[in-house]
Structure 1
């Protein structure tokens, strides 16, 4: 099912659903409150008279110039955004920690044939490049629907091996199985695929968006999105919007200036190939490799717990302190779905220990992985990892079907060949990045403290978690268990934590139960296909 006749994109649809009233006055009122001997200063007071408005404007200018910008974090903005690419979301909107989004899921919502981004720049008399771009989009979309058909049988077989009692009524579970095929088939979709989302940020983040919107993989789309977000805020409060700096030109970014000189006498593809070979050799086939950690983590946790509680080491050993903070039967916050651990004084002891991982997961998996905003990563300038050769992740379900594997390999070869042809026809790397499949590997480093890693591991070792993130999380815990076994012995899937805490039912997923009593397994036994 190919997309309908392609058309050039007119840009994102942006609506400001809700916002703090009078954000400019709120920011300055909060600043004045810091030095007020008469109590709180309210927003209406800072603009009540000509004198107060003059003071407001001086404070706004001086705090902005000096970088005293926590005052700009108080205003909040909720945007409804449609018709933006997955590439833009991954490269820009979700590349930092200071946002909240709820976006349409590719795992559970089928992509329609008309949901793809076409850069406006392709309309500028470049018919050959446009035709190739359109051809790759159509090929990827057709492959998505064909893969779902090919995967129906192997997915059904595996599903009913897990849920044997359901095999007697296969029609009842057809939709559940279809979602499994859809989740895997999306690997062939291009990053040009549209998404729609709620996106909430504070005012300071919008300041930063406007300044650095061109410092991502897709600067033209990002600049247009931010401009439309800014216009919505300007209509609400012109004074607040007027404070925001113009975008930094792409040519002034650190990365651009480095590449401009570095590649004067070097072959880009050769350098990239050497990097990929070096990186993948270290990975040794894994999704995640332990690259660094707090070497004396057990002792640090013990010391931190004792400091919180005011207990000497003679009365509370490291092992007992670790059990107190990390075993769910002792620390009930760890089993809570509210994730209130950052407000628990003893649980905050886990902030003092950190781990760093070298990762290699697909674009579609990382688009979910990066949502763990408190486990940040240094993600790549994507086309610097592109050589023109096929480079992709293969989902487990496809590996279990010879027919699907043969088709998947063939279509990936055709997609990467199409991208190379697009570049040779005058397509830019920015435009070409939209054609990369969801399966394209993201190679990056990621670090987190134990408190936030605990939350991530708890969520992602559930058998319902995205396949690659599940496997990466299991690999991370297994590697840490070799250096700090006492630290991770109680870090398991949520059902196992609930069992240890005495909370029933052990599985909190209801009809989404994976079908396996994971709460009885150690991390070394964790494995799944769908």
Structure 2
């Protein structure tokens, strides 16, 4: 038996790496501080105050006192689907997750729902293993092609440096597995460092049955809560609410799980007009509103609109634009950009959106896949795969087999949310996403860099182009770090040894991406 034949599911592993000292007493002391002439220390909290103030504060909705406590977890053995649909589906967390772009998936490691047995379990596990074999085959087919593209880009034939050649070979391997990962099922295990406040953990416990991975979410969150109770039993024992019952989950009442409506999906795709992201709404008077806000912040009625906008956006006038830290939310001038808002309609793969959604201040109304994935193959085909007919056929045959496995599972009575796990990273997601210029500015700076994932880069470039068309005054200085920094700061590129090899700053936004 090879590694591609052995399917491993050791279940979720949850460990509390670090925690705030005395989290419950800290919350009580914070509540007391609101009514005290001095800051109250956790050590000053009495047993009576624990019993009285904690529940009173919680029941009254004064929940910020429970937000001071922070819990840092090491999570592993959980599915990508759980992470996308639940753990990363809201803004208030911090995470560092294992990358499928840079970590080769040599071991078949995926979530197997405990509810599956008999023939259903056999179909499920066979599908997972077959997907991994396709991933390995795609990686092998793509690597020589990527190596050729990178070799041409860096003129490898003209170089004598053997170490540089090895770097190109390593980069080719990374790009190959980055693309091949589209065939990997969303049941694939991942690992991460995940940090939340005590308040967020209470919310996660309450909402654990909402979404497309309720069983897995319940298992992981219950272990997180148990870890916290080991260090402070009162943080959940004295206050809080249990998980919503299935009958209390609103989405279950208004839309039953089932196959997605093909007509609805077709109408959405038609509205994109061949693109990935379409601007559907915006603040009509955005430039004027920002300019007025700048004058009010500075108390300068003498500034005309052009000068006011330059102070907020032009790196020649605003050195905050050149900071490596994103300090825009701390700068009075740049907070004026929060008054302009844009709404986009987008279509991304599950794997691309798993990265896109981590721009947490640019939220999206992402779909319930248990209600929206159709009965036919519905995927985003990576450009590198689509360019070669043989590779494309290999990929689509894998997707067809994954959809067939899902169909078989559903026919056996498997819950729709469990049958989803066999679908690939490439499964298409359709949703609306919106943000202020303040927050989109950071996102576009990061994701218009050629090192960004291809899909997210494409969506960002389309968004920049469309916003330029309606608000050119606001977009003159929007682009990747090398474009923003060119002529103002060194080095132009902030990626160091990961420089893409393309002098983007010379022609942005007119740029051809080689990979």
> What TM-score does the superposition give when structure 1 sets the normalisation length?
0.93
User: Residues of 2 paired with 1:85 and 1:213: CA distance?
Assistant: 15
Higher alpha-carbon deviation: 110-119 or 372-381 = 110-119
For residues 330-389 of structure 1, the C-alpha deviation after alignment (integer angstroms, 9 at most, x for no partner) is 111112111111111101111111111111000000000011011111111012121220
Alignment-derived partner of residue 404 in structure 1 = 391
Alignment-derived partner of residue 472 in structure 1 = 459
User: Residues of 1 paired with 2:270 and 2:424: CA distance?
Assistant: 23
Alignment of 1:23-422 (within 5 A): 23-37=23-37, 39-47=38-46, 53-123=47-117, 127-165=118-156, 168=159, 169=162, 170-242=165-237, 243-259=239-255, 269=259, 272-312=261-301, 315-422=302-409
User: Residues of 2 paired with 1:67 and 1:60: CA distance?
Assistant: 11
For residues 463-504 of structure 1, the C-alpha deviation after alignment (integer angstroms, 9 at most, x for no partner) is 00010000000000101111111111110111011114x111
For residues 129-176 of structure 1, the C-alpha deviation after alignment (integer angstroms, 9 at most, x for no partner) is 111111110111000000011112221221122111466454442111
Higher alpha-carbon deviation: 445-454 or 55-64 = 55-64
Unaligned runs of 5+ in 1: 48-52
Alignment-derived partner of residue 422 in structure 2 = 435
Alignment-derived partner of residue 431 in structure 2 = 444
Alignment-derived partner of residue 412 in structure 2 = 425
Deviation, structure 1 residue 2: 5.9
| SS of equivalent to 1:120 | coil
Alignment-derived partner of residue 504 in structure 1 = 490
Deviation, structure 1 residue 287: 1.1
User: Residues of 1 paired with 2:19 and 2:271: CA distance?
Assistant: 47
Higher alpha-carbon deviation: 218-227 or 507-516 = 507-516
Mapped contact 1:154–1:401 kept (Cα < 8 A): no
User: Residues of 2 paired with 1:147 and 1:378: CA distance?
Assistant: 32
Mapped contact 2:445–2:479 kept (Cα < 8 A): yes
For residues 495-525 of structure 1, the C-alpha deviation after alignment (integer angstroms, 9 at most, x for no partner) is 011114x1112111111111100011121x1
User: Residues of 1 paired with 2:158 and 2:382: CA distance?
Assistant: 24
Unaligned runs of 5+ in 2: none
User: Residues of 2 paired with 1:253 and 1:172: CA distance?
Assistant: 51
User: Residues of 1 paired with 2:14 and 2:240: CA distance?
Assistant: 18
Alignment-derived partner of residue 50 in structure 1 = none
For residues 188-228 of structure 1, the C-alpha deviation after alignment (integer angstroms, 9 at most, x for no partner) is 00000000110000000000010001102110000000000
Deviation, structure 1 residue 10: 5.3
For residues 90-142 of structure 1, the C-alpha deviation after alignment (integer angstroms, 9 at most, x for no partner) is 0111001110000110000011323111111113xxx1111111111011100
User: Residues of 2 paired with 1:171 and 1:10: CA distance?
Assistant: 36
Mapped contact 1:290–1:476 kept (Cα < 8 A): yes
User: Residues of 1 paired with 2:25 and 2:470: CA distance?
Assistant: 53
User: Residues of 2 paired with 1:232 and 1:198: CA distance?
Assistant: 15
Mapped contact 1:11–1:221 kept (Cα < 8 A): no
| SS of equivalent to 2:242 | coil
Mapped contact 1:11–1:225 kept (Cα < 8 A): no
Mapped contact 1:76–1:202 kept (Cα < 8 A): yes
Deviation, structure 1 residue 57: 2.0
Off by >3 Å, runs of 4+ in structure 1: 1-7, 165-172
Residues 344 and 224 of structure 1: is their aligned pair in 2 closer, same or farther, counting only changes over 3 Å? Answer: same
| SS of equivalent to 2:491 | coil
Higher alpha-carbon deviation: 434-443 or 403-412 = 403-412
User: Residues of 1 paired with 2:267 and 2:242: CA distance?
Assistant: 39
User: Residues of 1 paired with 2:55 and 2:143: CA distance?
Assistant: 61
What is the count of residue pairs matched by the alignment? 509
Deviation, structure 1 residue 32: 0.5
Mapped contact 2:311–2:318 kept (Cα < 8 A): yes
Mapped contact 2:19–2:69 kept (Cα < 8 A): yes
| SS of equivalent to 2:433 | strand
Mapped contact 2:150–2:168 kept (Cα < 8 A): no
| SS of equivalent to 2:17 | strand
User: Residues of 2 paired with 1:514 and 1:422: CA distance?
Assistant: 44
Deviation, structure 1 residue 5: 3.9
Higher alpha-carbon deviation: 202-211 or 237-246 = 237-246
User: Residues of 1 paired with 2:298 and 2:278: CA distance?
Assistant: 34
User: Residues of 1 paired with 2:476 and 2:246: CA distance?
Assistant: 47
User: Residues of 1 paired with 2:71 and 2:157: CA distance?
Assistant: 46
